[in-house]
């Protein structure tokens, strides 16, 4: 057993919505958990190592509830000559490994991957657990579920009707997924549909939720238009992804069913800012039509007390795996009316609760896994601080040090 005590830390605590000064905490690197913490000088006499943080700011590792680690944002793909001729499974696996490294280097210590061609995220999770590759811990979904010809059909499980949904969800769970991803509505990056299109009906969604919850698995629903968001929330999904159009009735339904919203604001914003002449015009037009409504929707949900879990939709055009998670938090402050502390909570304790792992992750406290990041400056004063260079720890061990 190796015991490390970290001293002189300003530690973020969500109950106080701020950093508590002059703190210490001790980590057992064998169990990866925090064994003691407090203010001032630790009373423990025997530790193997003491690390002095010199009054730097320590917060839980960033959690991202909506990634696609096998996908290649447009700005990378365009730099690769002949990439379109490569074997798609091989090239997506290679990019998944690269994306995992980029995520951990920028402070993301846990992701929920919500849709992966070829079920690539399942072996990636195993490789990360066995320390064969670097990267955040992974909650897997394998291939997302869509109706025949629906959103994400090229990389997903096409199913129709309650019986096929049940069989498909059971098979995915047998394959080793942790979460079920459902495409309830149309979306932006699929031609011939709109975000308002209903794809899975409510009976189909309820069947998937029932099967997943029987096995203590979570369900994430891609739902953008108003009717689809309501349907997903009524059906009992754990999280609604995107949520372009939330009204007062939706707020009431979400409160009743304890639904989390995963906004993915940068997925829209990146296409809006950088996608002209590179992203297909039919997709960019859908962004232009919906972006103001989307941002207003997330602001309304946050103000109403709907729990928000940070997710970026990493892998969509110009929306990558580096500082985009921290930038998403900046958007919550600038575009959705959150305080910096509330934005931090979306990427820590709220994500942990949405992903049903809050017993182990999402905060710095005794008994929790010691995944955390260390910054020179206070992100409560400026949320953009999280985008700067920072030290990254997993299980109390430093896995990335600033240059």
Can you tell me the mean pLDDT for 160-180? 98
E-assigned strand segments in 73-202:
108-113, 137-139, 145-146, 157-158, 179-183
81 pLDDT exceeds 60?
no
Confidence of residue 368 (pLDDT cuts 50, 70, 90): very high
Cα 138 to the chain's mean position, in Å? 10
Of 1-10, 14-23, 352-361, the least confident: 1-10
Q: Tally Cβ neighbours within 10 Å of residue 378.
A: 15
401 pLDDT exceeds 90?
yes
| The predicted structure's pLDDT at residue 79 | 54
Q: State the chain's mean pLDDT as an integer.
A: 95
- Is residue 189 a contact partner of residue 71, using CB atoms and an 8 Å limit? no
- Is residue 380 a contact partner of residue 340, using CB atoms and an 8 Å limit? yes
Percent of the chain with pLDDT over 70: 96
Say which residues have a Cβ less than 8 Å from residue 84's Cβ, sequence separation at least 6.
none
DSSP for residue 61:
P
Confidence of residue 96 (pLDDT cuts 50, 70, 90): very high
pLDDT in tens, 52-79: 999 999 999 999 999 999 998 865 555 5
Domains within the chain, CATH numbers bracketed: 3-61+363-400 (2.30.40.10), 62-354 (3.20.20.140)
Can you tell me the mean pLDDT for 318-322? 96
pLDDT in tens, 189-207: 999 999 999 999 999 999 9
Helices 161-175 and 202-214, interaxial angle, to 10°? Answer: 30
- Is residue 200 a contact partner of residue 147, using CB atoms and an 8 Å limit? yes
- CA 209 to CA 258: how far, in whole Å? 14
Confidence of residue 403 (pLDDT cuts 50, 70, 90): confident
Q: Which two tokens stand for residue 154?
A: 């090229």
Apex 399 CA angle, 394 and 403, nearest 5: 140
């Amino acid at each position: 057993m190796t015991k490390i005590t970290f001293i002189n830390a300003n530690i973020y605590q969500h109950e106080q919505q701020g950093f508590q000064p002059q703190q210490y905490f001790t980590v057992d690197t064998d169990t990866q958990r925090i064994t003691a913490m407090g203010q001032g000088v630790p009373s423990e006499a025997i530790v193997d190592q003491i690390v002095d943080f010199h009054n730097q700011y320590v917060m839980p590792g960033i959690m991202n509830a909506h990634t696609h680690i096998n996908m290649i944002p447009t700005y990378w793909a365009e730099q690769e000559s002949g990439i379109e001729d490569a074997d798609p499974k091989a090239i997506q696996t290679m990019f998944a490994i690269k994306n995992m490294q980029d995520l951990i280097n920028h402070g993301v210590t846990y992701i929920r991957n919500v849709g992966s061609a070829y079920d690539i995220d399942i072996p990636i999770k195993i490789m990360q657990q066995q320390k064969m590759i670097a990267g955040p811990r992974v909650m897997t979904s394998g291939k997302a579920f869509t109706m025949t010809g629906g959103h994400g059909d090229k990389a997903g499980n096409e199913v129709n009707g309650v019986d096929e949904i049940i069989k498909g969800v059971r098979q995915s769970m047998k394959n080793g997924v942790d979460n079920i991803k459902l495409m309830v509505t149309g979306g932006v990056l699929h031609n011939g549909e709109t975000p308002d299109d209903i794809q899975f009906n409510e009976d189909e969604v309820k069947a998937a939720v029932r099967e997943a919850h029987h096995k203590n698995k979570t369900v994430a629903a891609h739902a953008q238009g108003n009717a689809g968001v309501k349907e997903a929330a009524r059906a009992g999904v754990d999280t609604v992804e995107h949520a372009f159009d939330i009204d007062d009735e939706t707020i009431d339904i979400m409160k009743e069913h304890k639904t989390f919203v995963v906004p993915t604001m940068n997925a829209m914003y990146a296409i809006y800012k950088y996608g002209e002449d590179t992203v297909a015009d039919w997709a960019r037009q859908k962004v232009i039509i919906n972006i103001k409504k989307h941002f207003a929707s997330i602001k309304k949900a946050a103000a109403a007390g709907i729990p928000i879990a940070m997710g970026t939709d990493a892998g969509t055009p110009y929306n990558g795996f580096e500082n985009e998670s921290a930038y998403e938090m900046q958007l919550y402050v600038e575009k959705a009316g959150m305080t910096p502390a509330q934005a931090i909570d979306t990427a820590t304790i709220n994500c942990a609760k949405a992903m049903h792992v809050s017993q182990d992750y999402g905060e710095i406290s005794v008994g929790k896994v010691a995944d955390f990041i260390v910054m020179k400056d206070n992100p409560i004063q400026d949320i953009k601080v999280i985008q700067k260079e920072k030290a990254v720890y997993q299980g109390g061990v430093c896995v990335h040090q600033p240059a």
